[in-house]
Amino acid sequence: MTKESIKTLISEALKELNLEAGDLPAQAGFVVEHPTDFKMGDYSTNVAIKYGHGDELVRYIVQNKPDGVERVELVGPGFINFYLSKEFFKNSLGEILDRKENFGKSEHAKGFKVMVEHTQPNPFKSFHIGHLMNNAIGESVARIIVANGAKVKTVSYHGDVGMHVAKALWKGDYVLGSKAFEEDEKAKAEIQDINKKIYDKSDPEINSRYENGRKRSLEEFEKIYKKLETNFDFNFFESEAADIGKKIVLQNMGKVFEESQGAIVFKGEKFGLHTRVFLNSDGLPTYEAKEIGLVKIKKEKFDFDLSMTITGNEQDAFFQVVEVVIGEVMPEIKGKLSHLSHGMLRLPSGKMSSRTGDIITAEELIEDVKRRLAPTSPGGVGDEAVAIGAIKYMILRQAIGNDIVFDIEKSVSTEGDSGVYLQYAYARTNSLLEKADKEISTNAPRENTHEVERLLYRFPEIVERAGKEYAPHHIVTYLTQLAGSFNNFYTHEQVIGDSPEASYRLAIVKAFNIVMKNGLTILGITAPERM
RNA sequence: GUCCCCGUAGCUUAAUGGAUAAAGUAGAGCUCUUCUAAGGCUUUGAUGCAGGUUCGAUUCCUGCCGGGGACACCA
């Protein structure tokens, strides 16, 4: 019994009863969904509101009632509610137990090839909490797409050349250089000169400082990736994208680009956009031109159907323009680019920015959260995973796109709606399963269906929706609700003991254990065996 | 100024055009001689304003108010 089979049944009913859409307005149509309240059943459809004839529809559905449906009701303004049977829940537990770590995976997106670019820390600058946010989102989006059966390659892109590097190299500190660039004309000229030398490699001293700094940064990033359990299939660099991008710009002079005030620009106005500079008046490629080069490199490395770039939403306008430009200069890629943007990780005091120096590095935040984790914590190696899980949860719990106000005092609470809550519920089931002295069986005697059973079987639908919408928060919301339901079950039913229902209860525990672990894994959050 | 995004309990967030708007947190009260109380139970409390479309709007459209962002040689 699935959503699809209910839909099919209803379509048949409409046909048999001659209620098909013919004379209805275009917005007619019906949906099958899970009602918010369990009292209203496991599935619900509004078909009788759209088409009327509720009694006849229900009669048809009852007569052709599919396996797994126990009861069908017509209620309220015309909702038809479906209640699933104990047999159905027994079978769905069995399926979870069989499929184990594969439960939740599907082939909805089989054959689809996606490149996901995220994190993008810049050498010479710190890996701050903004990167942490981007990484949490990118990693989970990539995993969600994989779970839906697509082939995914992940990419990090590093700004190893450009003005920000010149600013950092000027006096050895990015913040200092950035400030001087704004305020001091002489410093500005010097920094621009350094920028040129980085590109043309004419100054041995700068070359050496540059190579050292770059290497050190990249090694640092690798350590953080490991901590965050992120693997990149490719690391691309602005230094390799720059020449390619510049070349493409020059090849399309007059067609796509034109000269304006000494720079090479794309006039976006004819596309309802704005003008952006691709080569500056020194002839050097800007971020815009490099992006063109990057996309070309990506396509050569992996023949994607979709290339997704995840960044902060302050880049929305930039990507709108660049996507149009790339469609013009590389028509084969037109329509295959997607920009997924998220909000900003803010501190209560305001914008988090490495330009003002008001930054918190990822490392600092992780350490801070570790310190704040429950004093009861055993202090083992698992603590870091719990801390990172707590942070990732905070980032992934809400829809991508909105800002997150990160109040360190309050936000990383270990109580209630949190990563710790999920991890704790999971860890507790491990202990239960270890202590269990009966076999796990769905054929054992049982009481009435528990709410947690009515949620467990939905996991694959949630993963599918999260994949279609690139929205990890659906999984977070679901897991949080699931954990709540499970904790309720756990408190009210003794699992270990002599009761005849113990084997079935253990099956529920095991199924929850599997789904929670699979869910956390898809989110990129560690499921600790013990806490 | 132009364009984009966002306004939901005191706070932080959910809600593929549907039913009584869902959670957490904070406030009030209860719950460990039983499997991990980082848990469970009860309770107070919300869709910025004004129109429109619809049988039905937190959701779609228009205007206003409030917040954030982008808008030429940064990334």
The string of pLDDT tens digits covering residues A70-98 is 999 999 888 999 999 999 999 999 999 99
Which residues in range 36-75 of chain A are in contact with strand B, contact meaning CB within 7 A of any of its atoms?
36-37, 39-41, 44, 46, 49-50, 75
Q: Which nucleotide is nearest to A195 (CA to C1')?
A: B74
3-state class of A492 per DSSP?
Answer: helix
The pLDDT, as a whole number, for residue A204 is 93
Our measurement of CA A323 to C1' B61, in angstroms, reads 28
Our measurement of CA A35 to C1' B45, in angstroms, reads 24
The span from the CA of A449 to the CA of A505, in Å, is: 11
Our measurement of CA A209 to C1' B49, in angstroms, reads 58
Which residues in range 278-337 of chain A are in contact with strand B, contact meaning CB within 7 A of any of its atoms?
280-281, 284, 286-287, 313-318
Q: What is the pLDDT of residues A145-184, one digit of tens each?
A: 999 999 999 999 999 988 889 999 998 888 888 888 878 8
How confident is residue A511, by pLDDT bands cut at 50, 70 and 90? very high
Which among A163, A171, A235 has a CA at the least distance from the CA of A198? A163
Our measurement of CA A403 to C1' B67, in angstroms, reads 11
Our measurement of CA A78 to C1' B54, in angstroms, reads 17
The span from the CA of A81 to the CA of A302, in Å, is: 47
The pLDDT, as a whole number, for residue A83 is 95
Which nucleotides along chain B are within 7 A of a protein C-beta?
3-6, 12-26, 34-41, 55-56, 68-75
Min mean pLDDT across A67-76, A226-235, A371-380, A404-413 is at: A371-380
Our measurement of CA A466 to C1' B65, in angstroms, reads 35
Q: What is the pLDDT of residues A99-123, one digit of tens each?
A: 999 999 999 999 999 999 999 999 9
| Eight-state DSSP code of residue A117 | E
Give the Å distances, CA to CA, from A430 to A97, A103, A323, A364: 15, 18, 48, 31
pLDDT mean over A251-274: 94
Q: What DSSP line would sit under A320-389, residue for residue?
A: HHHHHHHHHH-GGGTT-EEEEEE--EEBTTB--BTTTTB--BHHHHHHHHHHHS-TTS---THHHHHHHH
Q: What DSSP line would sit under A150-167, residue for residue?
A: -EEEEEEEE--SSHHHHH
The pLDDT, as a whole number, for residue A61 is 93
Tell me if A164 sits within 8 A of A122, measured CB to CB.
yes
Q: Is the CB of A473 under 7 A from strand B?
A: yes
Which residues in range 197-236 of chain A are in contact with strand B, contact meaning CB within 7 A of any of its atoms?
none
The tokens describing A103, both together, are: 């439960």
Residue A278 has pLDDT above 60, yes or no: yes
Q: What percent of chain A is predicted at pLDDT more than 90?
A: 73
Helix axes A502-523, A86-99, angle to 10 degrees: 50
Cα dihedral A238, A239, A241, A247 sign: positive
The tokens describing A447, both together, are: 């009481």
Q: What is the pLDDT of residues A388-421, one digit of tens each?
A: 999 999 999 999 998 887 777 666 777 888 999 9
Q: What DSSP line would sit under A68-101, residue for residue?
A: TEEEEEEETTTEEEEEE-HHHHHHHHHHHHHHGG
The span from the CA of A519 to the CA of A462, in Å, is: 10
How confident is residue A322, by pLDDT bands cut at 50, 70 and 90? very high
The predicted model scores a pTM of: 0.94
Our measurement of CA A274 to C1' B1, in angstroms, reads 15
Could you tell me where the DSSP H helices lie in A228-306?
238-251, 287-301
The pLDDT, as a whole number, for residue A19 is 75
The pLDDT, as a whole number, for residue A437 is 86
How confident is residue A1, by pLDDT bands cut at 50, 70 and 90? low
Q: Which residue is nearest to nucleotide B55 (CA to C1')?
A: A49
Q: Is the CB of A427 under 7 A from strand B?
A: yes
Q: Is the CB of A379 under 7 A from strand B?
A: no
The pLDDT, as a whole number, for residue A20 is 67
- What are chain A's domains? 3-84 (3.30.1360.70), 378-523 (1.10.730.10)
The pLDDT, as a whole number, for residue A370 is 86
Higher pLDDT, A347 or A377: A347
Tell me if A520 sits within 8 A of A140, measured CB to CB.
no
Which residues in range 118-177 of chain A are in contact with strand B, contact meaning CB within 7 A of any of its atoms?
122, 159, 161-164
Our measurement of CA A317 to C1' B49, in angstroms, reads 30
The pLDDT, as a whole number, for residue A351 is 41
Our measurement of CA A372 to C1' B24, in angstroms, reads 19
pLDDT mean over A209-235: 95
3-state class of A253 per DSSP?
Answer: strand
The pLDDT, as a whole number, for residue A349 is 54
The span from the CA of A427 to the CA of A429, in Å, is: 5
Q: Is the CB of A344 under 7 A from strand B?
A: yes
